[in-house]
Structure 1
């Protein structure tokens, strides 16, 4: 079904893989008459050509990328624009689209969600952007319909910014990276590796894009096979997939922790652009006749079966057939995972969902950028036509990804077919994907064609004794389960006639409702600020020395951004940095905020010129011990907090996972590794040190103090190893590193944050 190469490989003429082994030169010589070097052949990838076109550094090893377009939604655009305004923003220099698909319900906090929307609209007018009102489209569907273009690059402040199937290399990053683009700066990275996703065969009837995506994620997430690399989809199997199918696979590449994705394009993608009235934006993309890849993921589409990702990660995958055949054993494994993921805070089991040997689920959701596509919804309607979802606990909700899709399923009858079954069809909204809509009942089990199933991602609250859980599935198998009134069923087990109706795109609703400045700014417009919208608090530059108190210690194999700053209704407070910070780690370590605030009192006293130990008395013996070996004054030592996590940052691009820690006085994270580039970048952009400590070496514990002398010199001098000390009865030395940093990243850390960096430059 899915296999991985042991090393790199050459792709010849887009069809033949030659793995890099002892015989490779002889094979290449016989087929090509010459042997191209790996370095030269690597330039034959589609990724290389697109990156080269957008690179401004003149050095393809150290890229400085300028993107063609930017996208944000209403959880992220307020903070981004506020940061850019504080850094000198005068006009959006490239098209910037502000969608409103996350805080759409306006159900929490009074006026604050709609206040953010009005902020976005007035900023689009003032700075020359595009504003998409609530319920019109989820961010990624609007980008597919209206923004993507062959050979282009888009940067979005949402982790699922993926339009590779349409020939657009797109990346999801934290807000500060968009700020850089708004200020005509660049996105600076080393040339990423490129991995071929080599598709053969054709999906069997009833298998959908989520099935293919989950099969890939299950194979590559745990071993980091594509981490921070570009996934390049090639091979003859690509031509056997519709545009919608490719899009459904592509959006889920985020869950592999890859950097981006790109697909070869053909007549089916040309048809997509034609349908959307943008034929000129199509470009045929193919790798060169000889291309070298850093690895190959072999995907035989014909062998993919309906899949399910069990709680609590998209990589916890099984075929539905395998789950049903080994039900109790797999549910036992899920319980063991729950003890780790939930820290034993609540009792969790799915075994009580087994009725007469079958797994019963309480809720089905088909939604968002992954599930809400036209073909997914029409296939679900075909499966459910003439049936009933029943009148018991099981419910089914469907969220078309855009109003044009909604209009088309109304016109072709799929909407009526779904509603007649008892399903509820709602407007375009990302809420079910991050816990702000359709939160299940306590102890309920939901199956969703959405992007993530992290702990509490569906909206339950451990701190209130609540637990629900989500499994990821394709829309087709969700519909099959609904047709069986909640008993888990693979779509391949049903005999269905799929109508496969043609899609007709009507952009009239966008022309009537979307504000498009066409790039013309109007400086006379006054920005509307609701009372919840606050400026970023002042942040200090990094002093010569650093004293850190460890205020949280997390030993889970992976820590998600949802655990660092919870999603769900808390997202409504993301325009208020101080207000939102109150929720930091609230579902993982509820005591974190209080501990961090206590340490922050000392730093606030120091900055004000007062004695830190008077503000926080437990510091006195710590400072006394340090002064036995180091001559320091309060002006030369910053006092802050840090957390340790094994592998933090999987999941969302939201910058608040880092900025909330900084607002509470955080100066660093310490980790064995960082799950994603984007989370590490968020730390850096908020002036936090991305410390790394070797796996198995942990000389400190929660509550300990760590002294890092000469940190400014270490960062400025690009020291490979940074000496630190655990402060106790003595100073116990250990070593930290920060990994590769660009010169600008070093200066951002020294200045204290990206805002300070731009103010100083």
Structure 2
């Protein structure tokens, strides 16, 4: 039997286990990336483990989330990150240089490589044939130190593309169509591998829009084969020598196949407040639009912004609508500027932002109250834009620009008919990607050789080893699809404390219950209870670290999102699965005790644990964990376990290996 492309790359990097879906495997990691809101903990954990030097082929530290540097805390984080990159041997991308995924694909992403990143949209380079996976920061730390990355072997599903996109349909509509069909849970435990004759009709940047937003399906990763379109892109970024042709075998077997006929697609839009709430644009046409944003790591490249610029040529943004362009990289801004498009867009009434994640996480360009915002971003979770009661829609740059011209949601095909002289701008790559590399500092150029820590940078919290008894109240009961934005918000007033866990923990789950942190700290232990898909969204490990710091000992949920589940193990919180009946019966405030010896059960491989609620009734809770995950949990988390393994001569590789 032949291999899928995913299996070929994994097989080439396999150091432990077998490529059987559901089995744990260990793989060698070629590249790692981290960004400024997760990177501080990555490097503090690197220091805490006693590691001396990066062991991966490429390690890159980006500053892209809090680039506006509202006060010294943000700036101190960036100074610390530059010093860490210099001290340990990583590339450093200065604030304002661009979003990690965009800058990384321009400079480092390559076919056949593996990458681990402490950001959930790390799979973006899958459009270039790189198998890239988002993970918690400590997983990146350990991989950067030279150890394998362990993950449950995902199922590989084929997304067969047929036909060719018609006018006004875009790559964004491809991934919106998949979200419409599969939902935000549809990709959990899977790698989506794109196949079929429609693949060759899409350029590499279009493919990377799709792989970027595949994260919203819950997928472990998304990947395209490589071909002449891949080579074309690598030539344009002056890295043709890194091209490798990668295709699945003709007799490769997939767990399932999803067929998308590109010819049938039309402009789509995700309504508030979930990326899978997708409908045709024409179904919501006529809705007044107050704000339009084009950009982000999903649609912020030069070729994503150019269609908007072409549509606005000779036109103006509607007086009732504000339009902002948020480029994915400074390179995109520089190229647009040198070709005159920045001036054209400014003349049309467009405001240009710095190249940053900012608005996507609620930092800057926060919508007005009771307003509608159309964005080309990848997430529209309620409150993520920076205002709790928001109305954010997700769409392509073409749909967004049409709304900016009209002042209301409109299918661009209908606007073209109305105006008479508006043509589909198409998707056009530049002759070459040019631009300064000044803001990307190589390890050899690094000006720092020791860590610089400001007063806001704290220590890494370490949990004690797992105890035999867990007994405490259900401090908070939540519903389905609780995101990491709910657990630890990423707004400007909170984000600045990502390197100060003592302070950051005060905001834990404040968007669900603003009394939670005080109640958890006073309870001396307890549980979180949740429905399905708990912890979806961002990779931020703080969403596990802060509850642990407040004394939470475990989470009872109907299901967990992949990255957050891993983070719970990484920080010593017991993730137990419960069925719907048990979830419905548990009330907030109930006392929940595990009847069994928890430490012994976890260490010995026990799967089913009995929980007793209020001494009134009992239910079964399941621990689905590998032997390695159990060992980490028993030790109190990955940091404690890795240090034990290193001291004992096994586990994470010492820095001099």
Q: Same fold by TM-score, threshold 0.5 exceeded?
A: yes
* CA distance in 2: counterparts of 1:599 and 1:190, whole angstroms: 34
**Equivalent residue, structure 1, for 2:648:** none
Query: Is 1:411–2:338 an aligned residue pair?
Result: yes
Counterpart among 749, 753, 756 of residue 633 in structure 2: 749
Deviations 1:363-417 (A, max 9, x none): 000121112122221101111111111333x100001211121111112222222
Q: How many pairs does the alignment contain? A: 631
Alignment of structure 1 residues 378-417 onto 2, 5 Å: 378-392=306-320, 394-417=321-344
Secondary structure, aligned partner of 1:56: strand
Bigger radius of gyration among the two: 1
**Equivalent residue, structure 1, for 2:288:** 360
Counterpart among 553, 563, 567 of residue 678 in structure 1: 563
* CA distance in 1: counterparts of 2:158 and 2:318, whole angstroms: 44
Counterpart among 576, 586, 597 of residue 710 in structure 1: 597
* CA distance in 2: counterparts of 1:694 and 1:731, whole angstroms: 18
Distance 1:389 1:51, change over 3 A: same
**Equivalent residue, structure 2, for 1:340:** none
Query: Is 1:369–2:336 an aligned residue pair?
Result: no
**Equivalent residue, structure 1, for 2:48:** 86
Alignment of structure 1 residues 572-587 onto 2, 5 Å: 572-587=496-511
**Equivalent residue, structure 2, for 1:443:** 370
Deviations 1:627-651 (A, max 9, x none): xxxxxxxxxxxx4443434431111
Distance 1:664 1:645, change over 3 A: farther
Deviations 1:164-211 (A, max 9, x none): 110101111111211220232222123211110100111111122211
**Equivalent residue, structure 2, for 1:537:** 461
**Equivalent residue, structure 2, for 1:469:** 391
Distance 1:508 1:202, change over 3 A: closer
Query: Is 1:552–2:552 an aligned residue pair?
Result: no
Deviations 1:513-547 (A, max 9, x none): 321115x999x822110111000234211111111
Query: Is 1:732–2:592 an aligned residue pair?
Result: no
* CA distance in 2: counterparts of 1:501 and 1:50, whole angstroms: 30
1:499, distance to aligned residue in structure 2 (A) = 7.0
Q: Where do 5+ consecutive residues of structure 2 fail to align?
A: 417-421, 646-657
Secondary structure, aligned partner of 1:180: helix
Alignment of structure 1 residues 341-356 onto 2, 5 Å: none
* CA distance in 2: counterparts of 1:313 and 1:449, whole angstroms: 14
Counterpart among 424, 430, 436 of residue 503 in structure 1: 430
1:554, distance to aligned residue in structure 2 (A) = 0.8
Tell me if structure 1 keeps the 8 A contact 2:462–2:636: no
Tell me if structure 2 keeps the 8 A contact 1:554–1:646: no
* CA distance in 2: counterparts of 1:688 and 1:500, whole angstroms: 47
Alignment of structure 1 residues 421-436 onto 2, 5 Å: 421-436=348-363
Distance 1:215 1:55, change over 3 A: same
Deviations 1:632-672 (A, max 9, x none): xxxxxxx4443434431111111111111001111111101
Counterpart among 172, 175, 179 of residue 217 in structure 1: 179
Deviations 1:577-615 (A, max 9, x none): 111111111111112111101113xxxxxxxxxxxxxxx
Distance 1:584 1:58, change over 3 A: closer
1:505, distance to aligned residue in structure 2 (A) = 4.5
* CA distance in 2: counterparts of 1:121 and 1:226, whole angstroms: 35
**Equivalent residue, structure 2, for 1:626:** none
* CA distance in 2: counterparts of 1:704 and 1:101, whole angstroms: 42
* CA distance in 2: counterparts of 1:543 and 1:140, whole angstroms: 40
1:426, distance to aligned residue in structure 2 (A) = 1.9
* CA distance in 1: counterparts of 2:43 and 2:429, whole angstroms: 40
**Equivalent residue, structure 2, for 1:96:** 59
Counterpart among 316, 329, 332 of residue 277 in structure 2: 316
**Equivalent residue, structure 1, for 2:187:** 226
* CA distance in 2: counterparts of 1:566 and 1:363, whole angstroms: 22
1:497, distance to aligned residue in structure 2 (A) = 5.4
Secondary structure, aligned partner of 2:580: coil
**Equivalent residue, structure 1, for 2:544:** 658
**Equivalent residue, structure 2, for 1:515:** 441
1:717, distance to aligned residue in structure 2 (A) = 1.6
Tell me if structure 2 keeps the 8 A contact 1:367–1:432: no
1:438, distance to aligned residue in structure 2 (A) = 0.8
Tell me if structure 1 keeps the 8 A contact 2:274–2:379: yes
**Equivalent residue, structure 1, for 2:654:** none
1:73, distance to aligned residue in structure 2 (A) = 0.5
Secondary structure, aligned partner of 1:747: helix
Deviations 1:93-141 (A, max 9, x none): 112101001010112xx20111011001111111011100011111000
Tell me if structure 1 keeps the 8 A contact 2:127–2:207: yes
* CA distance in 2: counterparts of 1:225 and 1:370, whole angstroms: 20
Secondary structure, aligned partner of 1:112: helix
Tell me if structure 2 keeps the 8 A contact 1:408–1:505: no
* CA distance in 2: counterparts of 1:164 and 1:515, whole angstroms: 25
Counterpart among 51, 57, 63 of residue 10 in structure 2: 51
Alignment of structure 1 residues 33-432 onto 2, 5 Å: 40-41=1-2, 44-57=3-16, 59-61=18-20, 62-94=24-56, 95-107=58-70, 110-162=71-123, 163-221=125-183, 224-324=185-285, 358-392=286-320, 394-432=321-359
1:752, distance to aligned residue in structure 2 (A) = 1.0
Distance 1:487 1:521, change over 3 A: closer
Query: Is 1:760–2:644 an aligned residue pair?
Result: yes
* CA distance in 1: counterparts of 2:638 and 2:552, whole angstroms: 15
Counterpart among 486, 490, 507 of residue 563 in structure 1: 486
* CA distance in 2: counterparts of 1:502 and 1:229, whole angstroms: 31
* CA distance in 1: counterparts of 2:531 and 2:424, whole angstroms: 50
* CA distance in 1: counterparts of 2:540 and 2:166, whole angstroms: 37
Tell me if structure 2 keeps the 8 A contact 1:148–1:281: no
Counterpart among 586, 591, 606 of residue 700 in structure 1: 586
* CA distance in 1: counterparts of 2:224 and 2:532, whole angstroms: 33
Q: CA RMSD in A?
A: 1.7
Counterpart among 554, 577, 590 of residue 668 in structure 1: 554
TM-score by length of 2: 0.93
Secondary structure, aligned partner of 2:568: helix
